[in-house]
Chain A
Amino acid sequence: MTFEEYVPGAADDHEPATMADMLTVAGNAAAVAPVGAAPILEVDKLRMYFPVKSPGLLRRTVGHVQAVDGVSFQVVEGGSLGLVGESGCGKSTTGRLITRLYTPTSGAIRFQGEDIAHAKARQLKPLRRDIQMIFQDPYTSLNPRHTVGAIIGAPLAIHKILPKKQILPRVQELLEIVGLNPEHYNRYPHEFSGGQRQRIGIARSLTLQPKLLVADEPVSALDVSIQAQVVNLLQDIQREFGVAFLFIAHDLAVVRHFCPEVAVMYLGKIVEIGDRDSIYNNAHHPYTQALLSAVPDVRQAATGGRRERIRLEGDVPSPIDPPSGCRFRTRCPIAQEICARHEPPLLQIGQRHKVACHFPGRLGEAPREPLTSGLLGVDREGRPDPGASPSTDLVEQPGFADTWFDLDKKTIGRV
């Protein structure tokens, strides 16, 4: 069987040849991610286009910043998904869409099964209790004229959850949870250090016992020694309260440490998504590989000398006018003609591993022929192939299917 013949969802037609085949198709999927937990958040083909106005008299819309362009993923209950990528890749916009600070252009955000993508302000109010956000900058995200107690207690008052008298004890309890002195509820944010302020921000986000926390670069503004304190605190909170996390960060090491599942974004699209092991030890997308190889490593000192990195040339293109086909192709070391013609679909290649590339493969092992041409019904250069018909049920779904195409064995993998 070849990749061309494989169609997700239709895989049940293909019976494995022997029992042995079935037993050995563990394939590319390696680490075990939290299996069985129900998704609390499901994002389906989410798009956010910001209009760009012309400078002329009429201020017509002349284009769109395609900040997020068809992103699908799941976050399971009590799980955590990391969103990584460089600035401008749309990871923060995605976070803001999920907390509904923005209204998406299209797509669905299903929170506990209910689509909140276009919910009205009134419908959003209960939602605001369940989805909370932790912001990057602990210096500007807290109102300097409010006491810490007022900041943390505000959600309780706004949502009228507790009578006024009981707010203070709850605030003190929260301060204690995040490792601050409960007696300090009367102080102002400027009396705290950066790390402590981030703790205040976390306490505020916990006030309403949310089910999902969107953490947008929660540690990147902090000193190194403080980052670890905050990461540990977030882990404790997750363990204790079972909160699901969407963890947005540019620091690959921190994301790897915190998230069993990771999605890599580039120019508004997910290029690779999977469990930790698939992304960090078995990356199949050239961008993920470049990203990983670019991270400076302390252990380099032990070996000495200069490490060979994959050098990405140039800069990230403008999201107003992204490259045709695959958006990474302008900087991709293995790009070919088909990449300019067709956008690669996000294909499942492991139990919990999807990649969007025409030439997916481990570093240095990328296939020479595009694996996707059959699926798209084109020849190897991406021109329409009269002999082939594009697969009609090539539908991207937020979660992972039970079957996938195993690149190593060229067979269908199964759970």
Chain B
Amino acid sequence: MLAYVIRRIFVGVAMLLAMSLVTFTLFFASPVDPAQYACGKNCSPVQREQARKALGYPSRGEGVWESNIKGPAEMWGTFAKGIVKGRQFPADEELRKAAPENVVDCAAPCFGYSTYSIRTVNEMVGEALPVTFSIALAAVILWIFFGVLIGVLAAVTKGSFLDRGIVGTSLFLYAFPSFFIGTFLLTYISIKWSLYPLPSYTSIADGGVGTWASNLLLPAVTLAMLYMAGYVRMTRAFVLESQAEDYVRTARAKGLATRKVLFKHALRAALTPLVTMAGLDFASVLGGAIITESIFNFNGLGKLAVSANTNYDLPVLIGIVLIAGAFVITANIIVDILYAFIDPRVRVG
């Protein structure tokens, strides 16, 4: 098992490297010159080249990239080196010498420096990540707890009005986009009817767990709604499926109480596919977080990604892509480890 996990981590790191390389290549393949963009509209060629140096991008000749291949590859090399060894900014040595008071140290693992925001990517991501992670975590807890609970309820009352009601409602909610739910919660629950205070992110360090959690409720509900409906239906299907299994019949034939048959035997088996889904969804929650964060004005990774994208802020983009990738890969490895815990057939050959 350990060997397997180590192998998976190796593969994961290789994948992250490949992802960063692809992001670099895509970025430089775009027709927009980030130096021009940073420099502004009325920018002389000299200023532009200075901006380029400050940004640390390889220079390009008239009209086309001077080193279409060499440029990104070289940059990627420095980037990769920065992750391992750390870097100093500005990237250009002359600039560093010219203004030593402006030099920023970025310790390993260094993801880069955003000239646009005049901060290191590590700092920016470090601020945004807890926000997104908090929302995602709260949402995952909500949607798994209620999704599975309601799904099991629907499965055991299969065919009843309750079951049909649950299935119908979940389908209804599933059809609503999260920006609708989020906007609804914000404008009506918080603002118009004042049923719940307007949320703003407070870290645990600043306000304690209670404040942290209460501020997360509305964004988390918004995000959880998107997934919960699916989990209700999936759980219902998985539980129904496992209830038809031979070993559940055996459990009943042994004389076990219905509750024990359900929770010890049927649900345990239904858990396996749910864990897979939950792991992958948790990883992909970043995408959903963008909308939620925008609606509630939380400064999370989602918002950061949007602004980095509109500003052609390559270092930040790369940083976020890598964080998101690491999220997916880690979630997958965790799912695999959980699998071994749940299913002894994986654990003991």
Q: Is B one of A's binding partners? A: yes
| Chain A residues proximal to chain B, CB less than 8 Å | 55-57
B180 at interface, CB cutoff 8 A = no
The prevalent SS among residues of B at the interface is helix
Give Cα A57–Cα B7 distance, bound, in whole angstroms. Answer: 6
**A53: shortest Cβ distance to chain B, in Å?**
11
**A50: shortest Cβ distance to chain B, in Å?**
15
B171 at interface, CB cutoff 8 A = no
Output the nearest chain A residue to B10 by Cβ-Cβ distance.
A57
One digit per residue, 1 when the CB lies within 8 angstroms of any chain A CB and 0 when it does not, for chain B 5-36 equals 01100000000000000000000000000000
Interchain Cβ contacts under 8 Å between A and B, 7 examples: A55-B3, A55-B4, A55-B349, A56-B3, A57-B3, A57-B6, A57-B7
Output the nearest chain A residue to B349 by Cβ-Cβ distance.
A55
Considering residues B3, B6, B349, which has the most beta carbons from chain A within 10 angstroms of its beta carbon?
A: B3
Cβ contacts under 8 Å, B7 to chain A: 57
Give Cα A56–Cα B7 distance, bound, in whole angstroms. Answer: 9
**A43: shortest Cβ distance to chain B, in Å?**
32
Give Cα A57–Cα B349 distance, bound, in whole angstroms. Answer: 16
Give Cα A56–Cα B3 distance, bound, in whole angstroms. Answer: 5
The prevalent SS among residues of A at the interface is loop
| Chain B residues proximal to chain A, CB less than 8 Å | 3-4, 6-7, 349
Give Cα A56–Cα B10 distance, bound, in whole angstroms. Answer: 14
Number of interchain pairs (Cβ within 8 Å): 7
**A318: shortest Cβ distance to chain B, in Å?**
12
Cβ contacts under 8 Å, A57 to chain B: 3, 6-7
Cβ contacts under 8 Å, A55 to chain B: 3-4, 349
**B13: shortest Cβ distance to chain A, in Å?**
14
Cβ contacts under 8 Å, A56 to chain B: 3
Output the nearest chain A residue to B6 by Cβ-Cβ distance.
A57
**A168: shortest Cβ distance to chain B, in Å?**
41
Cβ contacts under 8 Å, B4 to chain A: 55
Output the nearest chain B residue to A59 by Cβ-Cβ distance.
B7
Give Cα A57–Cα B4 distance, bound, in whole angstroms. Answer: 7
Cβ contacts under 8 Å, B6 to chain A: 57
Q: Which 5 A-B pairs have the closest CB atoms?
A: A56-B3, A57-B3, A57-B7, A57-B6, A55-B3
Give Cα A146–Cα B57 distance, bound, in whole angstroms. Answer: 58
**B294: shortest Cβ distance to chain A, in Å?**
44
**A271: shortest Cβ distance to chain B, in Å?**
29
Cβ contacts under 8 Å, B349 to chain A: 55
**B339: shortest Cβ distance to chain A, in Å?**
15
**A177: shortest Cβ distance to chain B, in Å?**
39
Output the nearest chain B residue to A56 by Cβ-Cβ distance.
B3
Give Cα A108–Cα B349 distance, bound, in whole angstroms. Answer: 34
**A413: shortest Cβ distance to chain B, in Å?**
50
Give Cα A55–Cα B349 distance, bound, in whole angstroms. Answer: 10
Give Cα A56–Cα B6 distance, bound, in whole angstroms. Answer: 10
**B87: shortest Cβ distance to chain A, in Å?**
32
**B161: shortest Cβ distance to chain A, in Å?**
33
Give Cα A58–Cα B313 distance, bound, in whole angstroms. Answer: 41
Output the nearest chain B residue to A54 by Cβ-Cβ distance.
B3
Give Cα A55–Cα B7 distance, bound, in whole angstroms. Answer: 11
Output the nearest chain A residue to B7 by Cβ-Cβ distance.
A57
**A260: shortest Cβ distance to chain B, in Å?**
40
Output the nearest chain A residue to B4 by Cβ-Cβ distance.
A55
Give Cα A57–Cα B6 distance, bound, in whole angstroms. Answer: 8
Give Cα A35–Cα B50 distance, bound, in whole angstroms. Answer: 96
Give Cα A56–Cα B349 distance, bound, in whole angstroms. Answer: 13
**A62: shortest Cβ distance to chain B, in Å?**
12
